[in-house]
Amino acid sequence: GPNPGLRPETYTAGEVGATADLGRLWLDGAVFQSRYDGLIQPGPVPGKFFVYQFQNVAKAHITGLDVETRLDVVPSVLGLDVTYMYLHTRDLTLDQPLPYRSAHTATGTMSLLGGLLNVDLQYRSRVQRVLQFPADPRGATTLVGIRAAYKVGDVLVQAKVSNLLQEQYVDLQERFPGPPRSFELTLSTGMDN
């Protein structure tokens, strides 16, 4: 339930980044660091078994790297878009990683025929720390999806398959399975003004 003693978190942050546009290759990267006093996150309620509420962590810090690149391998035929984030998190009070955060997260999209067909890849490394069931097995998650779009007259037809390979994984909430393979078909019309 709500925590009446919750106070606003305060932080100081710094980031240094650069972007390069080299025509068919675009790069963007940044390193960052944030120091928190009273970071708000879930925590156990003292004296209550498996009861959690949002609480202030006394002190925490997050350091990371965020990189994105786009490459037109063959313009209007094949393109790649890749992002990667590295996080080093620390609850300075407990001297442990912050819960429910992965150190490595990457996404990639391969676009074919100017976006007519897209293959998506999502990767998340093993969550380093959880609160309720630390003995449960946890691992990295890799999800593959496919998206297609085609315009027929004034109608845009879009199809999407998520979790194509039927990866069985635990979502960020403990013991809750991530969504299974799913299919979506969308028809939409645009209005010209």
- Which pLDDT does position 106 carry in this prediction? 98
Compute the 3-state secondary structure of the chain and give helix, strand, coil in percent, each to the nearest 5.
0, 60, 35
CA distances from 73 to 27, 33, 76, 78, 94 (A): 14, 33, 9, 5, 47
Q: Say which residues have a Cβ less than 8 Å from residue 117's Cβ, sequence separation at least 6.
A: 111, 146, 147, 148
Q: Please, what's the b/e burial string for 95-120 (b: 16 or more CB within 10 A of its CB; e: otherwise)?
A: eebbbbbbbebbbbbebeeeeeebeb
For residue 87, the cross-strand partners are 64
pLDDT at 71: 97
Query: Do the Cβ atoms of 70 and 34 come closer than 8 Å?
Result: no
Residues 6+ away with beta carbon under 8 Å from 127: 99, 100, 101, 102, 138, 172
Averaged pLDDT for residues 132-144: 89
pLDDT value of position 193: 42
Residue 6 near residue 54, CB atoms below 8 Å: yes
pLDDT digits (tens, 9 = 90+) for 51-72: 777 778 778 999 999 999 999 9
pLDDT class of 10 with cuts at 50, 70, 90: confident
Contact at 8 Å (CB) between 7 and 56? Answer: yes
- Indicate if the pLDDT at residue 32 is higher than 50: yes
Q: Could you tell me the pLDDT band of residue 144, with boundaries at 50, 70 and 90? A: very high
Beta bridge partners of 52: 44
Tens-place pLDDT, residues 152-185: 899 999 999 999 999 998 876 788 889 999 999 9
What string of DSSP letters covers 120-189? EEEEEPPBS--SS-TTS----EEEEEEEEEEEETTEEEEEEEESTT----B-SSTT-BPP--EEEEEEEE
**Which residues are CB-contacts of 19 (< 8 A; sequence separation ≥ 6)?**
26, 27, 28, 29
Amino acid of residue 70: R
Neighbours of 80 (CB within 10 A): 14
With cut-offs at 50, 70 and 90, classify the pLDDT of residue 79. very high
